[in-house]
Each structure stands twice: as C-alpha cells, then as structure tokens.
Structure 1
C-alpha cells in the first residue's frame, strides 16, 4: 500500500476522475476517462443514449465530450489553486455515427497563464473523424 508521499498512479488518478464525475453531465453521457494530462486528455462516450431522433450521434453530445476533455486539460494545466472555465467552443461535424463508441482526444493549441485552448478530435471505432472542436478556457486564479 502506498504511503502519503507516494504519488498516485495514472490508474488511480483516472479512477478518481471517473468517480468524481458521478452525477454530472459527463456521467449521464457515459463519458469515461482513459488518459489525462495537460498535454493529452482521452475519453470515450457511447453513441447509444446520445442520439438525436434520427438515431445518429447528437452534435450537442460531441460538444459535451469536447468541452469535458478540453476543460479537464485546462484544469490540469492551471493547477489545483485555479479554475478553468470554458468561454468559447466551436465544432465541425464531419460525419455521423449511429452505433458503438466514439473517442475524443484533446491536445493543447495554447497553454498560457490566463487562457488555455485545446483542439479536440472525436473519432469512431474505425478511426474515422466524426468531429473536430476547439475549446478555449479562461484560467481564473485566486
């Protein structure tokens, strides 16, 4: 068993992030974190339950996944004593998905003291690009 000075493992951090998401929009959407650092955040989301009336992945669901990933990356960049608040998102929907799981990968475009911007690429199980989004977060420090 690790002592208090042993940093948590990546698996422990991801388990805590998934646990902390319980009862949130990310939880209701079925978003599961796979990897998380300020340089790269990865999560999956099921298509089922996140569709519009035609049975296709809802564009808003892609935006929720993108904002979740970019916000987590921004918060990790900002550190414990700061808040990362989404202030702008845009998304281009390239193709539809009607089943399976989509994966979002967020990587930084800019990591500053007061602003962090991430590009988020969402792909289907065949590695086809479903959506490209960009999120900017204001970093608010005490």
Structure 2
C-alpha cells in the first residue's frame, strides 16, 4: 500500500467509516499490510436473517467494504475513486453468534481494475464465506 503505515491505514478506515453502513454493521478494521486489509464484524441480531443466522448480505457487505477500502490505498484519492463493479460470494458455514473476520488479499492490481479475494472466517479460523471482488478505478469528477 502506498507509503502508509499500518496505523495510518487503520485510522483512515475508521474515519471514512463514520456515518456509513460500515458503522451500522459495526465493522472495525483491525490489520493491514502491503497486499491485504482485515476487518471484523460482530454476529448478532443486527446482521441475522429471519432464521437467526448471519445474513449472506451482511457477509457480502463486509467483504465489499474491506475490498473497496483496500483499493483506496493503491490510488491517489485526490485524482481517482474506487467503484465495486462485481462481487461473488460462496457461503460455506452458518454462524449465529460471535465474530467474523474478513481478510481482503490482492490478486491483481491493474491501472483501472483491482481484483480481491476476501476470506471471511470465524473465531476458530474456519471459513464462513469466500468472496471475490472486482473494483474499477475511475477519475474523480
């Protein structure tokens, strides 16, 4: 990531999450490195579907939030913006309570396209969902 320290990345993520879906879902960014960004989200009634399980849409929102945030650190935000253009998710394990962790790992960084793999795991590092996100980098208007 562009000359940012881990602490700077996490602080920026915290700041741009205020008054957004990320804040509503209680997503907290917890780790960052040269080619990854990690966040956590509590699993409770706020993110349940009617059967009392983690809603697949909440998992996808977590995945897209982490992958899109990660792309921001590879661009000049004064000149460019990031847009998620495709996301796919395979939900592999159900979850009723606890915490899930999403780690976005860079697969491809092109000039206009970034491709991320986002692994959502539980407290035991068991895979809950596996997602793939494609972001487009566009000029800022």
TM-score (norm 2): 0.89
| 1:120 corresponds to | 118
Q: Which runs of 5+ in 2 are unaligned?
A: none
Give yes or no for the alignment of 1:70 onto 2:67: yes
- CA offsets, 1:107-141, max 9 Å, x none? 01110000001000000111110000000011012
Who wins on radius of gyration, i.e. which is larger? 1
Q: Is the 8 A contact 1:38 1:74 kept in 2?
A: no
- CA offsets, 1:17-46, max 9 Å, x none? 213211100110010001235610100001
Residue number among 87, 90, 97 corresponding to 1:89 in the alignment: 87
Residue number among 14, 23, 27 corresponding to 2:19 in the alignment: 23
Cα distance, 1:59 vs structure 2:
0.2
The 5-angstrom pairing of residues 1-142 of structure 1 reads 9-37=5-33, 39-48=35-44, 49-80=46-77, 81-142=79-140
TM-score (norm 1): 0.89
Q: Is the 8 A contact 2:13 2:69 kept in 1?
A: no
Other structure's SS at 1:53 match = coil
Paired residues, number: 136
Q: Is the 8 A contact 1:103 1:123 kept in 2?
A: yes
1-structure distance, mates of 2:37, 2:9? 12
Q: Is the 8 A contact 1:78 1:113 kept in 2?
A: no
